[in-house]
């Protein structure tokens, strides 16, 4: 799915249509996600669908935490939260 196709189906107030396991990698995912749910504290580095890169630090006691940003990559380098503690919302 292209970024344009993803954006065309994205409605800001609509719920997700499913979830997907996240495998951190320094390459793009095959399909963008509309948000990321984090189930452990630590740092999460990601690439937004507009190409910008950001790192959010989830503090202890704030989980589960939803990062409400559409993204195409969750980086291995720079992410301290384990794969098992990440779920993508489609």
What is the per-residue pLDDT across 57-89, written as a single tens digit (0 to 9) for each? 999 999 999 999 999 999 999 999 999 999 999
Per-residue model confidence (pLDDT) at position 17: 79
pLDDT over 80 (residue 12) = no
Sequence spans of domains, the chain? 3-89
pLDDT band at 54 (very low <50, low <70, confident <90, very high): very high
For the chain, list the strands marked E by DSSP: 19-21, 35-38, 42-48, 53-58, 65-67, 71-74, 86-89
Least confident of 8-12, 21-25, 36-40: 8-12
Residue 41 and residue 58: Cα distance in Å, rounded? 5
pLDDT over 70 (residue 4) = no
């Amino acid at each position: 799915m292209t970024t344009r196709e993803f954006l065309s189906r994205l409605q800001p107030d609509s719920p997700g249509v499913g979830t997907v396991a996240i495998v951190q990698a320094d390459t793009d995912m095959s399909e963008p996600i509309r948000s990321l749910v984090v189930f452990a504290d630590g740092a999460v580095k990601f690439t937004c669908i507009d190409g910008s890169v950001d790192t959010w630090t989830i503090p202890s006691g704030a989980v589960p935490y939803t990062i409400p940003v559409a993204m195409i990559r969750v980086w291995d380098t720079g992410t301290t939260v384990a794969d098992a503690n990440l779920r993508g919302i489609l």
